[in-house]
C-alpha cells in the first residue's frame, strides 16, 4: 500500500532568483521546499547570470525528480526619474516641483529632476496626477512648458534616485517592448525559458508583437502578459483580448495598483483570475505576497490572508519576488507559502466548481477533459485524473475546474512537462510512450501512479488519452480504471 497521508498542494509557487538564491545550498532547498516555477528577472543581472541560474535549476530539478519551469521576465518600459546630486531630496506638501526631461541625468535637486522617458511631457497635461515611488510621492500637474512638467506636491516625503513614475488612470505611451527587452528576449530563447513575461502591455497587439519576435526559435515558449497598466484592464474586451493572445497572465499588483488605485485593485484581481480561467489560460498572482519575510522568518497575518484569498480565487500560482531573490529567508518563505496554500485548499470553496457547466463545447479534447473532471468530482473512490498528453493542453483544460484531486499530466515531451508545472493542481510526470504498445499504455500509467504514491490498489483513476499518442488535440477517450495490485 502507498502512503498518501501528505496532501498534494494544488496552487503553484513561482520564486524569483537572485543573490539570495545564489547562496550555497539555497536553490536546492527552495526547489525541495516546493518551487514549481523559477523567475529570471531581466531587470537585474546579466545574460550569463540568468544562464548560470537556469542551468543550476535544470540540474537540481532533474536530481530531485521534479518538473520546474523557467519564467523569463522582461523589464519593459519602466518610466523613472533621473538622479539627484545628493542622492535624495525631501519634498514638502504644497511645494512646487518640476520634472524636466531635458535636465541632466545627475542634476536633480529639491526643485527639479530629470526623467529617462523623453515623451513624458507629451503624455501629460494640467490636471493629471503623477505617482512616484509606487505612490509614496504624489504630484499634481499644473502646466507643461516645453520639456518641463510643473507640478505641485500633494503627498510629500523622501524621493531618491531612479524611482518609478506612473500616471493615475494610465495613458503613458511608452511601447511595451523596448530595445533592451528585444535583446533580453533573444537571451531568453537562447537559454531555453519555458515562459516569457511581457511587462506593461496595453493591448493584445503588444503580445502579438512579442510572439512574432520569438519566431520559430521561440515557438514553444509560453507568453505571460503582466497586467500592470490601467488601459489593459479598463474594459472586458481589452482584457479578454490580451488574455487570449497569451498563454498566461500575471496580476502584477504593484504598478497596476498605483495606476488604478488600491480600492479598485481588489475587484480587478478577482476579475482577471475569473476571466483567465474562463478563457482557459493560466494566471499568476504577484507582488508583495510575503514582503515582510524579506527580513522576518514568519509572514504577517495579513500576508497569510492575502495568499489564501488568491488561492480561494483559484489562481494557478502565487509569486515571490524580492523575498527569494534578495531576502534573508528565501527557503522559509517558500515553506510558509506552501503551508498557506495547503491550508486554503482544504476549504470546500477551493474544491467545488461550476466552471462552464451551462456552456456548450466545440472541441473533443475539451469535452473529454471537462467530463473527466466532473466525473472525478462526483464519483466516489477516484484517486486521480491522469491525462496522456503531447502538449499539456488537456491537463490545462481539466485544471480550470476546481477539485481536491490531483491531475496527472503524462508527457514524453520535456517542454510540455515543464509547461504544466504552472497549472493549478497538475502533477507533471515524464511518460515515454514511444516503446509501448497500445495495450500496455494504461497498465504502465497505473503502475507509475502507484509508484509515485498518487494512487493505490483498489482506487479508481480516470484516464484520458487519444487513439494516436503524441498527436496535438487528439484526446478523444475517457476511461475509468481500477488500480490493480502490482505483481513482481
| Residues involved in catalysis | 39, 80, 226, 287
Q: How far apart are CA 235 and CA 233, in angstroms?
A: 6
**Grid cell digits, residue 269:** 484581481
Q: How far apart are CA 216 and CA 213, in angstroms?
A: 9
Phi, psi for 81 (deg, rounded to 5): -70, 165
Q: With contact defined as beta carbons under 8 Å apart, do 192 and 54 qualify?
A: yes
Distance separating the N- and C-terminal Cα atoms of the chain = 14
- Write out the DSSP string of 21-34: HHSTTHHHHHHHHT
Burial of 276 (0-12, 13-18, 19+ CB in 10 A): buried
**Helix, strand, coil % over all residues of the chain, rounded to 5:** 35, 25, 40
Q: How far apart are CA 143 and CA 124, in angstroms?
A: 9
- Write out the DSSP string of 69-122: EEEEE------BB--BTTSEEEE-TT-EEEEETTS-TT-B-SSEE-BS-TTHHH
Helix (H) or strand (E) holding 325: helix 322-325
Q: How far apart are CA 269 and CA 159, in angstroms?
A: 29
Sole residue written with cell 488612470: 169
Amino acid at each position: 500500500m502507498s502512503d498518501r497521508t501528505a496532501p498534494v498542494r494544488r496552487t503553484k509557487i513561482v520564486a524569483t532568483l537572485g543573490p539570495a538564491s545564489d547562496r550555497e545550498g539555497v536553490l536546492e532547498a527552495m526547489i525541495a521546499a516546493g518551487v514549481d516555477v523559477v523567475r529570471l528577472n531581466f531587470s537585474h543581472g546579466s545574460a550569463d547570470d540568468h544562464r548560470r541560474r537556469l542551468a543550476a535549476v535544470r540540474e537540481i530539478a532533474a536530481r530531485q525528480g521534479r518538473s520546474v519551469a523557467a519564467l523569463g521576465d522582461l523589464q519593459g518600459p519602466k518610466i523613472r526619474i533621473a538622479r539627484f546630486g545628493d542622492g535624495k531630496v525631501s519634498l514638502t506638501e504644497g511645494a512646487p516641483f518640476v520634472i524636466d526631461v531635458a535636465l541632466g541625468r545627475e542634476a536633480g535637486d529639491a526643485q527639479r529632476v530629470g526623467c529617462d522617458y523623453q515623451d513624458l511631457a507629451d503624455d501629460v497635461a494640467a490636471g493629471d496626477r503623477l505617482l512616484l515611488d509606487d505612490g509614496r510621492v504624489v504630484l499634481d500637474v499644473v502646466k507643461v512648458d516645453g520639456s518641463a512638467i510643473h507640478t505641485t506636491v500633494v503627498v510629500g516625503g523622501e524621493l531618491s534616485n531612479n524611482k518609478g513614475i506612473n500616471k493615475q488612470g494610465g495613458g503613458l505611451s511608452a511601447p511595451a517592448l523596448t530595445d533592451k527587452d528585444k535583446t533580453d528576449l533573444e537571451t531568453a530563447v537562447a537559454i531555453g525559458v519555458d515562459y516569457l513575461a511581457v511587462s506593461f502591455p496595453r493591448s493584445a497587439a503588444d503580445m502579438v508583437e512579442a510572439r512574432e519576435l520569438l519566431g520559430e526559435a521561440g515557438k514553444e515558449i509560453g507568453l505571460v502578459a503582466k497586467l500592470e497598466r490601467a488601459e489593459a484592464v479598463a474594459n472586458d474586451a481589452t482584457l479578454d483580448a490580451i488574455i487570449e493572445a497569451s498563454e498566461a497572465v500575471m496580476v502584477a499588483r504593484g504598478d497596476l495598483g498605483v495606476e488604478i488605485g488600491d480600492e479598485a485593485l481588489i475587484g480587478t484581481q478577482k476579475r482577471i483570475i475569473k476571466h483567465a480561467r474562463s478563457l482557459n489560460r493560466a494566471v499568476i498572482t504577484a507582488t508583495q505576497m510575503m514582503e515582510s519575510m524579506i527580513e522576518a522568518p514568519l509572514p504577517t497575518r495579513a500576508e497569510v490572508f492575502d495568499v489564501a484569498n488568491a488561492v480561494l480565487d483559484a489562481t494557478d500560482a502565487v509569486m515571490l519576488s524580492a523575498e527569494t531573490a534578495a531576502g534573508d529567508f528565501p527557503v522559509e518563505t517558500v515553506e510558509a507559502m506552501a503551508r498557506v496554500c495547503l491550508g486554503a485548499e482544504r476549504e470546500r470553496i477551493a474544491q467545488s466548481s461550476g466552471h462552464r457547466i451551462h456552456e456548450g463545447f466545440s472541441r473533443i479534447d475539451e469535452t473529454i477533459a471537462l467530463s473527466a473532471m466532473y466525473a472525478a468530482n462526483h464519483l466516489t473512490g477516484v484517486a486521480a485524473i491522469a491525462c496522456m498528453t503531447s502538449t499539456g493542453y488537456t491537463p490545462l483544460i481539466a485544471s480550470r475546474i476546481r477539485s481536491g484531486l490531483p491531475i496527472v499530466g503524462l508527457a514524453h515531451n520535456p517542454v510540455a512537462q515543464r509547461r504544466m508545472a504552472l497549472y493549478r493542481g497538475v502533477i507533471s510526470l515524464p511518460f515515454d510512450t514511444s516503446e509501448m504498445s497500445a495495450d500496455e499504455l494504461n497498465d504502465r500509467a497505473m503502475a507509475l501512479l502507484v509508484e509515485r504514491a498518487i494512487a493505490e490498489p483498489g482506487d479508481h483513476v480516470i484516464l484520458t488519452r487519444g487513439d494516436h499518442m503524441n498527436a496535438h488535440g487528439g484526446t478523444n477517450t475517457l476511461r475509468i480504471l481500477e488500480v490493480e495490485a502490482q505483481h513482481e
